[in-house]
Every structure is written in C-alpha cells, then in structure tokens.
Amino acid sequence: MARGSTRPTSRDVAQAAGVSQAAVSLVLGDKWRGRVSQATAERVREAARDLGYRPNLAARNLRLGHTRTVLLVVPALTTEFFAGVYTGAARIAAEHGFGVVLYPSPEGIGPARDPFASAQAALDGVIASSMAADALTAIRGEALPLVMLDSDPDGSLGAATVNLDIADGIRQAAQHLLSLGHRHFLHLAADVPSWTFEVRAQELAARLAEVPDTTVRTARSPISIEGALAAAEAALSAPGARPTAVICDDDQLAAGTYKAARRLGLHIPDDLSVTGVDDLALATAMDPELTTVHLNAELFGERGMRALLAVLEDRTPESGNIPVQLMVRSSTAPPR
C-alpha cells in the first residue's frame, strides 16, 4: 500500500458492507451471535477481506485498557540461553492470547536507555532477568506487574520471582569434582552484579568449607570468551600451587578457560578439570566435551510467563525452584 493512501478503518468496512460501525466491531470481534444475522455477518467479513482491513491496535488498546503484551527484559543476547527463555515464555503467552516483546538491554547504547521508550507498546506486565541491571531501575519506575528471573527472592520486594535451582547445580558440580579427588579449585566468576552469580559463589564456598584441606581461588571476568581467557590465564599462572579444577559461572567462561589451558600447555582433563553452567551448544562442540550444569531455559521462560499471568489475574504464582542437572562429560577427571 502506498504511503499516501490511509489504511481502512472499521467505518470504511461498515460503509462497504452497508452496516454500522458497531456491527462491524461485533462481527469481527466474534460477538455477533443473536445480534447480527448470518448473512450480514458474512457480508461484513467479505468487505473486511476485500478492503484488507486490519484493526488499529492503538485504538483497540486504548479502548480495552490493556494490550495483552508483556515485555521480556534480558541481557545482551550473546548466547542461545535467553532465546530459549523467550521461546518458552512466548509459547505460554500465545496459549493465553498474549504476545511477548523482547528487550535485550543493548550493549553500547548506554545504561540510560529506557526499555519503555523502546517498547512504545503499552504493556500489561514485565518479566525481567536480574542480569539486565541497566534496565532494572527504569522497570521499577513503571509500577507494572513484574516477575523477576533468577533474582534474590527476599530482596526483590513485591515482585514475584522464578528461579533456577542454581545452588543445587553448583552443589552437584562441586560434589562431582570432590569425589574425583580434587581439592584445589579456581572459581572463575562472572563479573556481573546479579543474584544468580552471587548464589554460585556462596554455594561453592559453603560446600568446600565442609571438606578439610580444600583451597579455592576466585577470578572475575566479564561474560565473554575473550575476557575469560585473560582472567583464567592470569589465575592459572599465578604463583602458588595451581588449582586442578576450574568451576566456571557459565559455559562461555569455560570456553575461555579452554583457550587459556591451550596457551599454557595444560591438557584438559588430565592437567585441569573444567565445569560450566548453561549447557549451551558450545558445551558439546568443544573438545573435550564440557561437563556442565544443564539449565532448562524454555521451562524457565514458561514458568516466568505463568507467574506473570498469575500476577495479572491476582492469583499466587507457583513457587519452587526449577531443577537443574549436572551433565558429566569429558572435561572432568581425577587430578593427576
């Protein structure tokens, strides 16, 4: 359609079908039983089809007072993890007549960007990852129904939370390495202020404190393979006894650790065991395949959306963490 010609409204359809605008709204809104004859309804539908009528959503949203649209706020989409979260959330949303708009807190645009300026859509609610720190304050200002993903359940007052059982995943990873005989660890931690990473550190510290003669170094890195390479290389070549196992906060950090090991001439898993968290496609693409904590991203998204629907309907969201599972592969072995 040319830019000059304006798109048809329900009034145009009404005129073409020889009925009132109200009749069009009734028919197209499927509320015509007992109000409009079968024949007239068909005439209206035909006119709408002929004109290529599409309802003006701004007008509908204004009239209805809601949009059936929710915003999913995530950090920059550098892995497929949040794609899975989106897919799960979108599936549940679609089942309930909702749409999901994705807002990846964009790198390089600066923290001042307001997600609601981006989503000019009026919104009914928000699901936000606690990793999207930049966007979080703006979200609070909107006073919209909110569900937080992987956020401190106690600290996020008012908002419902849906969490993966990350602590259990770290517990499984630590237990696995301990039972292989490892005692000297490097924790390669994500340098991102988010509860989901804090809990990893806490759980690891707690678990290792239970076993005598264990040591743990901590290195911090931004979440990227290159960043992790630098951090891991520095930490592994630091003076003192070298750790025999590296517990990484996610798979990207583990990939960086692989690169560091190659540079340092260390063989995985013989010289160094490595674990990750996420179970990205990357994990099984690497050589050796990575032992990592599998997270069910789609289920995470589904649970997030269900929780938001519950909030919107004034129900209490389902509680309970989402279970995770350590996938034992070839990157872990007894220390030499």
Partner DNA sequence: GCCCTCAGGTTTTACGTATAACGTCGGATC
Partner DNA sequence: GATCCGACGTTATACGTAAAACCTGAGGGC
Task: Tell me the two tokens of residue 155.
Answer: 């600290």
How far apart, in whole angstroms, are the C-alpha atoms of residue 238 and residue 250? 22
Asked if 62 is part of the footprint of a copy of itself (rule: CB under 8 A), the reply reads yes
Asked if 109 is part of the footprint of a copy of itself (rule: CB under 8 A), the reply reads yes
252 binds, among DNA, a copy of itself, none (CB under 5 to 8 A by kind): a copy of itself
Cβ-proximal residues to 218 (8 Å cutoff; 6+ apart), any chain:
186, 187, 189, 201
From 311, 302, 304, 277, select the one nearest 149 (Cα to Cα). Answer: 304
Among 2, 4, 5, 6, binds DNA (CB under 7 A): 6
Give whichever of 287 and 318 is closer to a copy of itself, judged by the CB atom: 287
241 binds, among DNA, a copy of itself, none (CB under 5 to 8 A by kind): none
Q: Write phi, then psi, for 198 (nearest 5 degrees).
A: -60, -40
- H or E element: which one contains 225? helix 225-236
Among 21, 87, 214, 321, binds DNA (CB under 7 A): 21
Asked if 157 is part of the footprint of a copy of itself (rule: CB under 8 A), the reply reads no
Give whichever of 25 and 332 is closer to DNA, judged by the CB atom: 25
Sign of the torsion angle spanned by Cα atoms 313, 319, 321, 322: negative
Sole window of 20-28, 90-98, 169-177, 243-251 interacting with DNA (rule: CB under 7 A): 20-28
How far apart, in whole angstroms, are the C-alpha atoms of residue 147 and residue 306? 10
Map the footprint of DNA across residues 23-52, applying CB under 7 A.
23, 25-26, 28-29, 31, 34-37, 39-40
How far apart, in whole angstroms, are the C-alpha atoms of residue 79 and residue 70? 22
DSSP secondary structure of 6-70: PPP-HHHHHHHHTS-HHHHHHHHTT--TTTS-HHHHHHHHHHHHHHT----HHHHHHHHS--SEE
How far apart, in whole angstroms, are the C-alpha atoms of residue 284 and residue 123? 38
CB of 91 to a copy of itself, least distance (A): 5
Binding residues vs DNA (CB under 7 A): 6, 9-11, 19-23, 25-26, 28-29, 31, 34-37, 39-40, 53, 55-56, 59-60, 62-65
Binding residues vs a copy of itself (CB under 8 A): 1, 3, 7, 52, 54, 56-59, 61-62, 67-69, 76-80, 82-83, 86-87, 90-91, 93-94, 99-104, 106-109, 113, 117-122, 141-143, 145, 224-226, 252, 255-256, 258-259, 262, 281-282, 284-287, 298, 314
